Every structure is written in C-alpha cells, then in structure tokens.
Amino acid sequence: MITVNAMGDNCPIPVIKTKKAMQALTGPETIEVLVDNEIAVQNVTKMAESSGGAVKSEKIADKEYKVTIQMNGAPETVSEGEETCMPDARDNTVVVINSDRMGSGNDELGKVLIKGFIFAITQLDTLPKTMLFYNGGATLTTEGSDSLEDLKSLEAQGVQILTCGTCLDYYGLKEKLVVGTVTNMYSIVETMAGAGKIIRP
C-alpha cells in the first residue's frame, strides 16, 4: 500500500502527486490518496481511471476523503502536462430511487438491474447533485446493500445521498444507515421541486 497525502493541497497538486506515485510503480500495487475536498476526489478519480486504475472513494469525515486506486503496474501511457483542474462534475439533476429493484417482472433480475443502474451513475461524466431514497429504496443505503461501495464513491465526489427517515423507521433500519444522511418528506419535496432534471430508474 502506497499512501499519497494530499490533504490541504490545491488542484492540481493531488493529481500530480498521484500521477508520480503511479509512474514509480514496478508491479501491482494499491495507492491510497487522502484529500480534503470533493473536487480533488473527482479529478484524481478521472485521472486514475484514464490510466487504467480500478478506483474506489469514500468520505471518511468532514473534509476528509480517501481515494483507493488498484493498479497492475505503472500506466503504459501517462500524459504529461495535462493536470488540469476540472470544474465540479455535478449538475442540478436529482436521482429518485423508490425501490430496491428496477422495473417489474422478475424480482431477482430487478435487484441486479438496480445495482447496475447505481454503478452506471458512478461512470457519468456529469454526476447528479442529489440521490433520494425512499420506501423500498431506503434499504439500498443500509447494511447489507450491494450498492454501498458505489454510493460511498458518489458521496465522496459530492453527490448528496438522502434517505427517508420515516422509511428507515418503518423497516427498522434507522441504526443501520451506512452512507449519506436521513431526510424528511419536506426536504424530499423541496429537493425534487428545485431539480433541473429528475431521473427515476
């Protein structure tokens, strides 16, 4: 494990430090990058993925984020002099998820589809501003969910993850929330009303 401490560093320093660590690799290695803002997470993630890395990210605490990059070795091609500070990758889109499965028909297929849907969001060039989870969708942000890793990555990149508190209470999951924060119906309505676009799986 190689740790790159970029806490307090302004863009593009986190990207430059990470790129240097990647170029120095002599074999398979995991690089852990510590940063203090979502934009740095977005920029490091984009650079690492374009260099062939498998990337995970997570919000550890307020202004503390960890990006984990699994590399098979030094990247074959590393562009020089392109460490640009990309703008915030979020827009005013709200994703609304009200079930632990996608579509109707076969429930097991539906669960596979919703997992794929959430993963696909992590791959968008422009991320949503907020993701709302209510009714059966509330189970996706709690212990045992197959989508926790993807949701943590989205949260680390600044996507607001909000889960209905009434729904968590109903399913007995209030103490098992793993990612994001609890919200109420007023905030859900307000968020949807102010959205530039709403996406529903």
Q: Mean pLDDT lowest for which of 69-78, 95-104, 113-122?
A: 69-78
Is 60 exceeded by the pLDDT of residue 80? no
Q: Mean pLDDT lowest for which of 75-84, 140-149, 161-170?
A: 75-84
* Strand residue runs (E) in the chain: 2-5, 29-35, 54-61, 64-71, 93-97, 130-133, 160-164, 181-183, 197-199
Per-residue pLDDT tens digits for 149-183: 999 999 999 999 999 999 999 999 999 999 999 99
| Fold designation for 93-199 | Hypothetical Protein Ychn; Chain: A, (3.40.1260)
Buried b or exposed e, range 150-189, using 16+ CB within 10 angstroms: bbbbbbbbbbbbbbbbbbbeeeebbeebbbbebbeeebbe
Q: Reduced to 3 states, what is the DSSP secondary structure of residue 48?
A: helix
| CATH 3.30.110.40 domain span(s) along the chain | 2-71
Is 80 exceeded by the pLDDT of residue 56? yes
The predicted model scores a pTM of: 0.81
Query: Mean pLDDT across the stretch 124-128?
Result: 91
Q: How confident is the model at residue 110 (pLDDT cuts 50, 70, 90)?
A: very high
Is 60 exceeded by the pLDDT of residue 82? no
Superfamily of domain 2-71: TusA-like domain (3.30.110.40)
DSSP code string of 124-173: -SSB-SEEEE-GGGGGGGBTT-TTHHHHHHHHHTT-EEEEEHHHHHHTT-
Q: How far is CA 3 from CA 20, 89, 114, 116, 179, in A?
A: 12, 25, 33, 30, 24
Q: How confident is the model at residue 83 (pLDDT cuts 50, 70, 90)?
A: low
| CATH 3.40.1260.10 domain span(s) along the chain | 93-199
Q: What is the mean pLDDT of the chain?
A: 93
Q: How many residues does the chain have?
A: 201
